[in-house]
């Protein structure tokens, strides 16, 4: 089993590379366009064949590397069908299985941060995108976000997974890299002991600035990272 967590300091985005040792088949999750060369170099160094390029959702803070990676590797791109995106090779929904080599990755639909937000479960680790962050969660004040829906996705779906499931988020802004379902249930300040109404109230009062690249990023990512037009 091959697992790499990569980081983009400018947007604090994590990219994940998952591979199977015998077949060398691999998938990459949430690549960042500016790091396509780094990612391709690592794929080559590890002798991997990229089968899929997956997005946890349409990002607002960086442009996906999907298009650049697909051009070189021929891998299939995929995102939730509820993202309203075009130009992807495959659309995903709740319960879909992504197969690479003999590996299976389960798609869990977790709307809330965006309608098409998904988590990917692979063995004991959950790639949560922006649905659940370490000590936080994705914002819900743009891209058709909905705080109540996010609360339901996290508490009704994600928090029902085994407590020792490792939580690998799509971002961290404080140098943390991994958590667990048990830790987030017990300590996440937006969720631990909070009712749905309290969570909605917290999310309505975050007062966050808009991401600098939001216009450019969302429009490119809705086309699979194609910035040509
Ligand atoms: Fe996001």
Distance from Cα 28 to the centre of ligand 1, integer Å: 17
pTM: 0.97
**Around ion ligand 1, which residues have CB less than 5 A away?**
130
Distance from Cα 206 to the centre of ligand 1, integer Å: 15
Distance from Cα 107 to the centre of ligand 1, integer Å: 17
Measured CA angle at 57 (ends 15, 47), to 5 deg: 35
Separation CA 74–CA 129 (nearest Å): 24
Separation CA 202–CA 190 (nearest Å): 7
**Given pLDDT bands bounded at 50, 70 and 90, which one contains residue 211?**
confident
pLDDT tens readout for residues 170-210 = 999 999 999 999 999 999 999 999 999 999 999 999 999 98
Distance from Cα 162 to the centre of ligand 1, integer Å: 25
pLDDT tens readout for residues 120-139 = 999 999 999 999 999 999 99
Distance from Cα 47 to the centre of ligand 1, integer Å: 30
The DSSP-derived string for 96-145 is -EEEETTEEEEEEE--SSSTT-EEEEETTEEEEETTSBTTB----SSTT-
C-alpha 130 chain-centroid distance: 6
């Amino acid at each position: 089993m091959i697992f790499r967590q990569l980081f983009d300091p400018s947007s604090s985005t994590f990219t994940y590379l998952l591979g199977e040792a015998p077949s060398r088949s691999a998938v990459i999750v949430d690549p960042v366009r500016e790091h396509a060369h780094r990612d391709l170099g690592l794929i080559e160094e590890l002798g991997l064949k990229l089968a899929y390029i997956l997005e946890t959702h349409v990002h607002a803070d960086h442009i996906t590397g999907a298009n650049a990676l697909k051009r070189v590797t021929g891998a299939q791109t995929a995102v939730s069908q509820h993202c309203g995106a075009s130009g992807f090779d495959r659309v995903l929904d709740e319960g879909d299985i992504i197969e690479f080599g003999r590996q299976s990755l389960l798609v869990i639909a977790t709307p809330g941060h965006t309608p098409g937000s998904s988590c990917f479960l692979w063995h004991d680790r959950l790639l949560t995108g922006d649905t659940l962050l370490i000590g936080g969660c994705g914002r819900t004040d743009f891209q058709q976000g909905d705080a109540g829906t996010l609360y339901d996705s996290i508490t009704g779906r994600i928090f029902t997974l085994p407590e020792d499931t490792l939580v690998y988020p799509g971002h961290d802004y404080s140098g943390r890299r991994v958590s667990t379902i048990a830790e987030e249930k017990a300590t996440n300040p937006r969720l631990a002991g909070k009712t749905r109404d309290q969570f909605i109230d917290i999310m309505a009062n975050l007062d966050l600035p808009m991401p600098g690249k939001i216009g450019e990023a969302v429009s490119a990512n809705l086309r699979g990272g194609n910035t040509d037009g």
